[in-house]
Amino acid sequence: MQSPDYKKRLKLQLIFILSIAVMSCGVPSVPTALSSLLERESIRVGTVYGAGTFYNGAEGPQGFEYELLAGFADFLGVTLDLYPFYSYEVMLEQLEEGNLDIVATGDAVSPSLKKRFAYGPAYQHVQQELVFQAGMSRPRDLLELDAPIIAVAGSSQAHLLSRLLESLGDKVSDDESVETKTQLITTEDSDSEELLQQVANGDIAYTVADSNRLALQRRRYPNLAVAKTLDEDMPMAWALPLHQDDSVKAALIEYFGTVHQSGWFTVLEDKYFGHIRQFDYVDSRAFNDAAETTLARYKPLFQKYAGDLDWRLLAAMSYQESHWDSDAISRTGVRGLMMLTLDTASDWNVDDRTDPEQSIRGGSRYFASLLNRIPARISEPDRTWMAMASYNIGMGHLEDARVLTERQGGNPDLWVDVKRRLPQLRQKKYYRTTRYGYARGDEALQYVENIRRYYDSLVWLDEQGKI
């Protein structure tokens, strides 16, 4: 939640932007697009459903685009009126007809769309990937495809493919020795995430997805493979009506500048995408298989001893620690499902570290105690990730990383800043200045990021009724 002083400062900035926009029109009495929505006290935004855009989760509305949009509405001091659409084209028509102020699809901007709409500043860049099912023959070129490519009608992928296939057609017509049967089929019955699922299940052969959506889906369907990158650098931006004045665009530029400068955008991006950028096919496949088989043996115990924790988070930690092997033992002597040391086991009344119930009970209570030791001012989910890092390397080393973060101008209360300093704990020029010295901080970082991926997968598998 932003402070009153922060909101007051943003309001003053907005008034300044509006004044500049009005003066640039030369006729102060003519209302601008920005003044109209401020007077209305609401901003009407079109979007589409999706894990990276907007959905109604257990705790209310969620999604990367949703949080950005809610932040912009708060920046303007107006209500966010969000209208989810099932059709890209219908949504864009509503923008053209003046029924929406902004369209935020989490989709990339294609050259053809730039002719129809104005755009705010680019806030991300994505790759567009031709996706097929791992294990099938990998096509090296669009000319080699033996089945149609399915894409969402009106999406950036459909626009990109139309342009590429048109250029292929020109090539074929110039060289009679070249043949292609490559076809594009567009659909409004499935969204991009569903098309990726259909590729994973073998229902369709090919689709095209941006790197954000692919990363989100690959943790669920690790057999999604990239055949070819079709575009390496497409911008993501919010669409605006083409012929309106620049006042809303100016406010967007100021807003994105503010959230980047404050670090909030980086925090939000890390929340949704930071832990899934790296992909390991073998690990993801093995985890999903174990979740659907081995986990059932221990699920009642995770639920019994989770307390205020989400049992799926506790289970994700256990998989990272032991791969749900109750007899697991590490080179350092920690043992069991939650990989407890002898001292930790003694502190939490665990007599047999290989006993599943004792291990889960002790590990859960130990982790809860670490959470309670994280300063109360640190909000979720940052406090959970920091407590998790301390479960791996100890609270003292976590505090050393937080001290390094503050020394280097970062925010010691933000995980996105602290995690950048964890690897420094094994570099002499840094750890010799800390209280607790050397630690394998890079392993602690990977430990947390792995658990975040496992947890996301468990939440999804649980929602699908697969665990």
d(CA 364, CA 344): 12
Burial class (CB in 10 A: 0-12, 13-18, 19+), 167: exposed
* Residue-wise DSSP of 450-467: HHHHHHHHHHHHHHTT--
Burial class (CB in 10 A: 0-12, 13-18, 19+), 87: middle
Copy the structure tokens of residue 166.
């048109």
d(CA 463, CA 155): 27
Strands (E), 72-212: 79-85, 102-103, 117-119, 124-133, 149-152, 184-187, 206-210
| DSSP element (H, E) containing 317 | helix 311-322
Strands (E), 70-114: 79-85, 102-103
Is 463 annotated in the active site?
Answer: no
Do residues 138 and 132 make contact, with C-beta atoms less than 8 angstroms apart? yes
d(CA 333, CA 162): 59
Instruction: Given the residues 65, 129, 193, 321, select the one marked as catalytic.
Output: 321
Do residues 113 and 156 make contact, with C-beta atoms less than 8 angstroms apart? yes
Say which residues have a Cβ less than 8 Å from residue 242's Cβ, sequence separation at least 6: 96, 116, 117, 118
d(CA 314, CA 306): 7
Catalytically active residues, by annotation: 321
